[in-house]
């Protein structure tokens, strides 16, 4: 429970400080708007290796919302690939 709570706090701090916006901007710039889902798969896979699924999910949700808003697609188009990348 402590690990999930710490992950929640870190995700909230990243969203409030603008870190999620910067990460989302970098991902969209590198992969392009059409490949935003592949960007989320890659970043979720890398984050999911050392972390528990729940902690990685809580950390990446602010980034997923920001990427979806920036690209102009549904959160499902970004969130489902993120969950798939975390579960590997």
Cβ atoms of 43 and 81 within 8 Å: the answer is no
Distance CA 33, CA 55 (A): 26
Distance (Å, whole) CA 69 – CA 58 = 18
**Residue 15 pLDDT > 80, yes or no?**
no
Residue-level pLDDT at 73: 94
Whether the model clears a pTM of 0.85, i.e. scores above it, the answer is no
pLDDT at 75 over 90: yes
pLDDT of residue 88: 82
51-68 average pLDDT score: 87
Q: How far apart are CA 64 and CA 11, in angstroms?
A: 11
Distances (CA, A) of 22 to 10, 42, 53: 15, 17, 23
C-alpha dihedral, 15 to 19 to 22 to 27, nearest 10° = -80
What pLDDT is stored for residue 41 in this prediction? 93
Which residues form the domain of 11? 2-86
pLDDT band at 4 (very low <50, low <70, confident <90, very high): confident
Amino acid 80: pLDDT: 95
Please tell me the total count of domains within the chain: 1
């Amino acid at each position: 429970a402590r690990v999930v709570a710490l992950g929640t706090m870190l995700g909230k701090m990243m969203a409030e400080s603008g870190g999620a916006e910067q990460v989302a901007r970098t991902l969209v710039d590198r992969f392009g708007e059409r490949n935003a889902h592949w960007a989320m798969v890659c970043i979720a896979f890398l984050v999911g290796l050392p972390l528990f699924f729940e902690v990685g999910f809580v950390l990446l949700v602010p980034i997923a919302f920001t990427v979806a808003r920036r690209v102009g697609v549904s959160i499902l188009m970004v969130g489902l690939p993120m969950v798939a990348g975390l579960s590997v």
